Amino acid sequence: MKYSLKTAPLDALTTDCLIATPAAARRIVTSQGQTDYWDAVSSDFADKPGRVLLVNLPKGRRSRVRRILLVGAGADELCPADFRKALLAVGTALKSAPVREALLAIDAFRVAGYDAYQKTRVALTLLSTQLYRFDAPKRDTAEDANGTRLTRVAIAAGARSRRQVGTAVRHAQALDAGLELTRNLGNRPPNVCNPSFLAREARKLARHDKVRCRVIDQRDLAEMGMGAFNAVAQGSDTPAKLIVLEYRGAPAKEAPVVLVGKGITFDSGGISLKPGAAMDEMKFDMCGAAAVLGTLAAALQARLPVNLVVLVAAAENMPSGRATRPGDVVESLSGQTVEILNTDAEGRLVLCDTLTFAERYKPATVIDVATLTGACVVALGAHASGLFANNDMLARDLLAAGEYVWDRAWQLPVWDDYQQALKSNFADMANVGGRDGGAIVAACFLSRFTKKFEWAHIDIAGTAWNSGAAKGATGRPVGLLFQYLLARTGKAA
């Protein structure tokens, strides 16, 4: 989607479709001499959040607006939840509307607690989500029966808000690029999107003049001592990759932020085979990797002044004669040994070696993103990602970023009390505990490999994709991570 800023008076702008509240819409139709027609067609419209009405306007000598998408907003200012409800309805309507470009009268919406910047950011992120389509493997085009598809959204802002709105449009455009990459990677079929495919996509990001890419192959991983990572990959015919991307947007002396993504491009469960129902959704087990690549893409487009290292632990988890067995003991890159009691708890194995690898960058902060545990879905459902951290300030910053852009997370503990669940008679630790507190125990496992740096873990098992009729990758938590980087670099409005 292409976003832009329009600063001329609203009644002087030309558009295929104006998105406006009833009050703003009436001013436009009055300026075009269409008041009687407007009153007739809009008289029954319920001015409530979530209600929309697409009205085609008659052509006339003064007509600049072809149609208006009327948006219910009520008489008073909207609460943030009702603003989201209104914009979600707008996105749904625009999906099937016969328009190629639209103009959003953002100043017409008053939202409690939101300035012009946040209002614009939230609106465009919602539209990005609603209007996204993935149809790359389809033979037919993605156009509607009317032969059109919305490709441009302009934001109309007055003199008072144009600076904030302009900044928000630029940031929203960068985020849209990151979200699109993340969703596209997540939605691709696993016979296409394997570790080698992720490596090729990473190399495309390295075309940027400030980015370097290195891909470490499975043989080298074994030689480096990444026994936990290699244990996951050894059952597949597709070799694993550790993908390393380094973006230098700040002075070299500045310690980098390291983002680590779980990239299991298909998770069969290995020898601990998953049930067959919904196993197709295990192609989404690489959405953590997709998210950190998408965050980098957004940071590049926004030209953020930050040093960023992105590490993608890419592998398939497959059953075969070479696959790891329950009861096997492996040595991690840190030197700690792990008894593998369940081969379906593989994400923490590729992550633990990658987190140890991150130490060499002397990072300011390390954040890993992973579709790690079904237990997190049980705990939080599909609304909030699980957040764990060994630093309270880092946790607060991430929570605040998610709340700001409505890509919310909820903090869970990483207390030592839970560590005893990982006790093993045959190794330094087991890779699973019992049923209780599964998401927390998994985070505790990872915490054993993060003693040397500030660290947070985001479990997106419940938020990375939707099931059912709306099945597909969501792009979360790219919005949260991008906002965190904006705030960290002082670029957030």
Whether 318 and 266 have beta carbons less than 8 Å apart is answered as yes
3-state secondary structure of 207: coil
The verdict on whether 348 is a catalytic residue reads yes
What string of DSSP letters covers 24-35? HHHHHHHHTT-H
CA-based angle 307:165:408, to the nearest 5?
60
Active-site pick, 183, 241, 348, 408: 348
Q: How far apart are CA 72 and CA 133, in angstroms?
A: 26
Among candidate residues 259, 428, 231, 234, the one with its CA nearest the CA of residue 345: 231
Structure tokens at 110: 């008053």
The verdict on whether 452 is a catalytic residue reads no
* Contacts of 47 by beta carbon, 8 Å cutoff, 6+ apart: 22, 72, 73, 74, 75
Per DSSP, the chain holds a count of helices (H) and strands (E) of 14, 19
Active-site pick, 66, 274, 488, 491: 274
CA-based angle 307:122:188, to the nearest 5?
65
* Contacts of 33 by beta carbon, 8 Å cutoff, 6+ apart: 60, 62
Whether 172 and 120 have beta carbons less than 8 Å apart is answered as yes
* Contacts of 165 by beta carbon, 8 Å cutoff, 6+ apart: 5, 106, 116, 117, 120, 155, 157
Q: How far is CA 248 from CA 258, 307, 390, 453, 466, in A?
A: 12, 5, 26, 20, 34
The phi and psi torsions of 491 (rounded to 5 degrees) equal -95, -5
Q: How far is CA 342 from CA 204, 223, 272, 432, in A?
A: 36, 24, 6, 7
Q: How many CA atoms lie within 13 A of 363 on its CB side?
A: 26
CA Rg value for the chain:
24
Whether 58 and 79 have beta carbons less than 8 Å apart is answered as no
DSSP assignment letter at 111: B
Identify the H or E element spanning 246.
strand 241-248
Pairing of strands 429-430, 455-459: unpaired
Q: How far apart are CA 263 and CA 283, in angstroms?
A: 10
Q: How far apart are CA 301 and CA 178, in angstroms?
A: 9
Catalytic residues: 274, 348
